[in-house]
Every structure is written in C-alpha cells, then in structure tokens.
C-alpha cells in the first residue's frame, strides 16, 4: 500500500522551514481559540513584539521534539496542534465559567476536573473545537503523503532520539529561564496585571501557561509520606458540637497600633475603641504575627482559616490562595458541619487572588464581593469601613431571622495604600499628626493612614456596641492583616524611630509582622462560653503573641471546637509548644525566642509541614 501511495520528500532545510511555519500557524490558532477578540490580541502583539517570540517559542520546540520522535514534521505538528489548541480551548472554557485560566497544576487534577464539569452549565465552542480537530486531521494526512524529517536522513533512529531529547531539553530550559522569568513577565505588563485571566487573554495562552510552571509552587517537605499523613488526618477526635455562639471575624486592612508609639503626642486618641476593649473583662487581646510585612492580605486570610502557613509552602515567595485548587479543611468547614451559615465578605473584586473560587474550596456557603453589594459608600476610591460594618450587621440579622448561627469572615479595604494627600479626594482635611522630626512626605502619609485607622477603630466600636445590644451570643474577633506600607525603604518608620525592619532569615524582627487583635464576647456569649474558665483553659501566650496560622484554631477552641478535627486539635497542641513560628524563628510560651527547635517541637513542626502538603495535594473533601 505504501508503494501505491504518492510520496513527496522535503529536503532538510525545507522540512525545518515547514516546522517554523507550522509552529507560527499553531500559535496563531491557539490565540484564536481564546475568549477575547483575535484582532485585539494581534494588535497587542504588534505593540509588544516580544510576545510573538514568547508564545511561538514553546510551540516550536514542542513541535520539533514530537517531529523528531515521529520522524515527520507534519505528524509532530498534528499532535502539537491537538495538545496546544486543546489546552487553549480548555483555558477558554475555564475562564468563561470561573474567570480563572488553566494552570499546569490542573493537569494533575483530571479527576477533580471531571467532577467539576458536572457542576457547571458549560457552553463548549463547537466551531472552534471542530476547526482544531479538522486541522489536526489535515496535518496528519499531509504527514502520510509528505516525508519531512527534521534531521538528516542518514541519522535514522539516533537522529530521532537525539533531536527529541535536545528539543525537549531546550523547551524545559526555556521554561525555567526565559519563559519563567519574573522580571520579563512584569516588564511586559497588562491592562490589569492582577487579574490572571486578563493577562492570559492579552499576552497569549502558550507563554502564560509555560510561565506558570515556575510560579505558585508548593515544595514537598522532607520526609513526607502520603500514607502516614492520611493516617494523621483520619485519627479519632472528641465528638460533639461546640458552644452555640455566633462568630464574627473581621480582618481590617493595614490595621495597626503604630499610632501608640511614644513618638506621637495625640490631642485625641486615634484608637479609643481598641483600647477600651483591651481593658474589657470579656476580651482577649494581643498581637497576631502575620506572614508578610506591609502586604499579603490574602496570605493572612489563608493562614488564619486553614491553619497552614504561607511562609512554609515554598522556599520562593508565593501567593497562598493561588496554590489552592481543591477543597481544604478550614474554620468554615468546622462550623459548617454543625449547621452554621458560613460567609465571606469583601468589598473588592471576586477575581483578585482568585477568591471567588478559593472561598468555595474553603467551604464558605456564601461569598459576597463588591459587585454584589448595594448602595455602596466610598471614601475616595475605597468602600468605607462604616458601610461594611452596616453590611455585617445586616447579614447577621438575616442569619438570626432565618434561625441560623453565623460564622463570617470579612476582609475590609478602606485603609489600603497608598497614603497620599488625594486618597480621599482633593481638599480632604486630615487631623494633624503630632510628632516631631517628620518630613512633609512622611507627615502626609501618617496623617492619611491615621485617618483610616480612626475609621477602622470606629468600625470596631460600632460592631461591639451593636452586638452588645443583642441577646444573641456573639464572639467578635478583629485584627489587622499586615502593617501599613509607609514609603520606600520604610522611610515613615525610620523617621518615627520604629524598629520594624523584617531582618534576614533566622533573625526576623517580629515587630515587622505584628498587628493588634482583640477577641471580645458579648454578655450572652460570655455566659454560654463560661468566659473565665474558657480563658484559663485556652492557654494563650501571656504577652498575647500568636501566629496567624494558630488564630483560627484558638477561636475554635475558645468556642468549644478545639478537638473538632485531628488537624485543629494538633494545631492547638502545637501552639502551646510554640505560640509563634515565623519561618525559622520560634517563640515559646515563656516568651523565649529561638531558631533551632529540637525534640518534640521539631518533630511536630515537621509533621505540620508534611500534613499541610498532604492537604494541599492529596486530601479529598466532597463538595
């Protein structure tokens, strides 16, 4: 049959030229498969020519490697087209359904993907799929009739293997260098660099997919054993429900008590409500040690709700919510299993940090973002803390009216940087900052920041007053996500004489990561919890320090749920050994600081890391 079929043979130069042309064609087809206008993509590529190379390079190297294996450029192009455009179509569907691109890690979640598909009303682009299939078949047919080897004919199988190995090796090298370069990626930019679906649409799927191989990594801990971690997770714990109280958690943007520093001589206390609650007999207070300095809001959310620790996920800096792609144990799930209504509120966009999907994976029954909030009130460009306080009260009343107990987590946004004179609009009058030796730049920054801190404190006071006036038992937890950013090289902190410089690995300065917290119970909750006894058995650090990753577990124990799951029971045991674990630095219950944990503590920290990895990679929790 082979003898009867007409066969054409391309010379080596023509075969390589054909490979280049086909790689360019497949790249264009992959871009055409995306949900945005093809003309807009091409226009963007012409403005940023480097994108042409960055998108065509991985396609070309993949095609060349497969062409060497199949000993024919057209056969290699057919499979390359199927792989690249198939992934591009999957990316289109995922963006349209969940506003999230396809990542390399999704390839390891095919079982979860098949289950998720059943949960969505998906409109598959039939025309695009048909075009990709027909082109793939056409390329395969061309391979039958045209011999086009990408290596000298004399090389035979040696050329095939060497060519494939060299091409795939070059592709891997390109991924970890050029395609994975953060500097190059940032320099290219996008109309909205924080929305990954926008970046994928504008700058091309092939390049961005390859770039994600080097981002949002989770390192496999030393000594990890999947079966052992599964056994930890399935251990028996105390049964029974916790105390029936509402839990309202509020994490306030950049909320701190730096205004308490002696450098200030305020005529009027900026934080009167925080200070009043710190003295309240029904309150706990201290400082949360958060994962980042002057940024990383979502990382603090992750640490508090899951009990895992952002800084332990990878040796490289990562975004914790971006590594989440499956259902996880969380504070929400513990309360949800007891029939609580679990909610997350944030007056920001749902796509930021992929919160729309992540909070579903964390078990939040309800999520409300800025586009779902009505009659918004702004102070400058940010939704006010006052509006959000009223929103929390409204949602609390809805739960009570529906006969439900509430577990809610709110992340505010008003006091977000930058702290410039026009933050709240031209001509806004800020109370003066009483501190000497400040430059005009720093004085402005501090005045603007302090105004936001006053509004945050007013929010705390309003919520405490509101819940004090209800017969429903309520525990209110209020803390800051990180310290404020006060200029390059910490100029604001320097001029105040505040020592908040993070320090090198192993010599971390914890004051750079500390934000105030207060946990307060209204009279009804204090009675239900037997407040004094609950505080005594909680065993918090005398100075009030606690890592953010232990805060959620402590709240569970305070409300009678410390043994609800093996995971949170373990976390409450671990925080009694080291109330703070920050990278390689530990703080014991007696206040001593050390960097070389030994014995049971070292074993438990290793267990914590390994168990976290198991949850992120393997544990299956039904939706």
* pLDDT on residue 298: 95
> Tokens at residue 317, please?
């800096």
d(CA 382, CA 390) in angstroms, rounded, equals 16
What separation in angstroms does the CA of 390 have from each of 355, 372, 385, 473, 582?
22, 15, 9, 19, 35
Q: How many CB atoms lie within 10 A of CB 418?
A: 12
d(CA 315, CA 563) in angstroms, rounded, equals 31
Q: Contact, 347 vs 373, CB < 8 A?
A: yes
* pLDDT on residue 150: 83
**Confidence band, pLDDT 50/70/90 cuts, at residue 5:** low
* pLDDT on residue 239: 62
* Sheet order of strands, 580-582 included: 580-582, 585-587, 593-594
pLDDT one-digit tens code per residue, 532-557: 999 999 998 878 899 999 999 999 99
What separation in angstroms does the CA of 71 have from each of 25, 127, 171?
20, 31, 19
The size of the chain, in residues, is: 623
Mean pLDDT of the chain, nearest integer? 92
Q: Contact, 253 vs 412, CB < 8 A?
A: yes
pLDDT one-digit tens code per residue, 483-506: 999 998 889 999 999 988 887 776
**Confidence band, pLDDT 50/70/90 cuts, at residue 1:** very low
* pLDDT on residue 436: 85
Cis peptide bond N-terminal to 418, omega within 30: yes
Most confident stretch, 97-101, 159-163, 398-402, 436-440: 398-402
374 vs 109, residue with greater confidence: 374
Q: Contact, 463 vs 389, CB < 8 A?
A: yes
Domains plus CATH for the chain?
A: 8-214 (no CATH), 230-617 (3.40.720.10)
pLDDT one-digit tens code per residue, 328-340: 999 999 999 999 9
Q: Contact, 584 vs 505, CB < 8 A?
A: yes
* pLDDT on residue 195: 84
pLDDT one-digit tens code per residue, 555-602: 999 999 999 999 999 999 999 999 999 988 899 988 888 888 889 999
pLDDT one-digit tens code per residue, 87-96: 999 999 988 8
Q: Name the least confident of 95-104, 293-302, 391-400, 486-495.
A: 95-104
Q: What percent of the chain has pLDDT over 70?
A: 96
Burial 307-331, CB ≥16 within 10 A → b, else e? bbbbbbbeeeebbbbbbbbbbbbbb
Q: Contact, 252 vs 459, CB < 8 A?
A: yes
Identify the H or E element spanning 517.
Answer: strand 514-521
Q: How many helices (H) and strands (E) does the chain have?
A: 24, 15
Q: What is the mean pLDDT of residues 347-375?
A: 94
Q: Contact, 197 vs 100, CB < 8 A?
A: yes
pLDDT one-digit tens code per residue, 195-244: 888 999 999 999 999 999 988 889 999 999 999 999 999 987 766 679 99
> Tokens at residue 383, please?
């939704």
- Please tell me the pTM assigned to this model: 0.85
Question: Which is it for strands 341-345 and 366-368: parallel, antiparallel or unpaired?
Answer: parallel
Q: Is the pLDDT of residue 155 over 80?
A: no
């Amino acid at each position: 049959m082979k003898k009867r079929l007409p066969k054409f043979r391309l010379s080596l130069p023509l075969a390589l030229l054909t490979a280049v042309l086909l790689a360019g064609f497949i790249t264009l087809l992959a871009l055409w498969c995306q949900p945005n206008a093809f003309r807009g993509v091409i226009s963007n590529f012409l403005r940023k020519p480097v994108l042409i190379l960055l998108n065509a390079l991985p396609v070309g190297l993949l095609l060349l490697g497969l062409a060497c294996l199949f000993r024919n450029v057209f056969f290699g192009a057919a499979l390359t087209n199927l792989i690249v455009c198939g992934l591009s179509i999957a990316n289109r569907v995922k963006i349209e359904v969940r506003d999230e691109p396809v990542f390399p890690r999704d390839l390891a979640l095919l079982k979860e993907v098949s289950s998720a598909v059943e949960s969505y009303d998906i409109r598959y682009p039939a025309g695009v799929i048909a075009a990709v299939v027909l082109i793939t078949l056409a390329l395969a047919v061309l391979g039958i009739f045209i011999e086009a080897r990408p290596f000298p004919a004399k090389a035979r199988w040696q050329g095939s293997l060497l060519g494939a190995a060299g091409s795939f090796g070059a592709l891997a090298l390109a991924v970890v260098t050029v395609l994975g370069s953060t500097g190059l990626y940032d320099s290219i930019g996008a109309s909205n660099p924080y929305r990954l679906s926008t970046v994928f649409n504008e700058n091309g799927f092939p390049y961005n997919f390859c770039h994600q191989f080097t981002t949002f990594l989770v390192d496999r801990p030393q000594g990890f054993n999947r079966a052992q971690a599964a056994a930890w997770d399935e251990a028996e714990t105390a049964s029974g429900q916790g105390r029936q109280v509402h839990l309202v958690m509020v994490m306030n943007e950049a909320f701190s008590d730096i205004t308490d520093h002696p450098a200030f001589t305020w005529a009027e206390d900026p934080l009167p409500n925080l200070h009043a609650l710190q003295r309240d007999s029904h309150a706990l207070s201290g400082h949360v040690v958060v994962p980042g300095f002057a940024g990383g809001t979502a990382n603090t959310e992750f640490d508090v709700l899951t009990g895992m620790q952002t800084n332990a996920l990878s040796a490289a800096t990562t975004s914790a919510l971006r590594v989440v792609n499956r259902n996880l144990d969380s504070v929400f799930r513990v309360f949800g299993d007891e029939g609580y209504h679990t909610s997350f509120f944030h007056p920001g966009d749902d796509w930021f940090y992929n919160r729309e999907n992540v909070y579903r994976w964390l078990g939040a029954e309800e999520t409300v973002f800025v586009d779902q909030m009505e009659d918004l009130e702004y102070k400058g460009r940010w939704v006010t803390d006052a509006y959000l306080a009223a929103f929390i009260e409204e949602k609390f009343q809805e739960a009570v009216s529906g006969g439900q107990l509430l577990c809610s987590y709110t992340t505010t946004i008003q006091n977000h940087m930058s702290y410039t004179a026009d933050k709240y609009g031209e001509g806004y009058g800020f109370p003066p900052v009483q501190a000497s030796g400040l430059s005009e730049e720093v004085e402005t920054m501090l005045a603007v920041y302090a105004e936001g801190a006053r509004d945050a404190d007013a929010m705390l006071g309003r919520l405490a007053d509101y819940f004090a006036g209800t017969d429903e038992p309520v525990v209110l937890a209020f803390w800051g996500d990180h310290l404020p950013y006060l200029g390059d090289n910490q100029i604001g902190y320097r001029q105040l004489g505040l020592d908040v410089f993070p320090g090198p690995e192993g010599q971390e300065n914890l004051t750079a990561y500390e934000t105030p917290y207060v946990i307060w119970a209204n009279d009804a909750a204090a009675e239900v919890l037997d407040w004094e006894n609950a505080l005594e058995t909680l065993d918090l650090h005398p100075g009030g320090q606690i890592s953010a990753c232990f805060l959620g577990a402590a709240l569970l124990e305070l409300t009678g749920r410390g043994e609800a799951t093996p995971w949170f029971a373990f976390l409450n045991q671990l925080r009694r050994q080291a109330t703070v674990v920050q990278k390689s630095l530990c703080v014991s219950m007696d206040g001593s600081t050390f960097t070389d944990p030994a014995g049971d503590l070292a074993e438990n920290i290793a267990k914590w890391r390994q168990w976290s990895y198991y949850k992120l990679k393997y544990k299956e929790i039904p939706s």
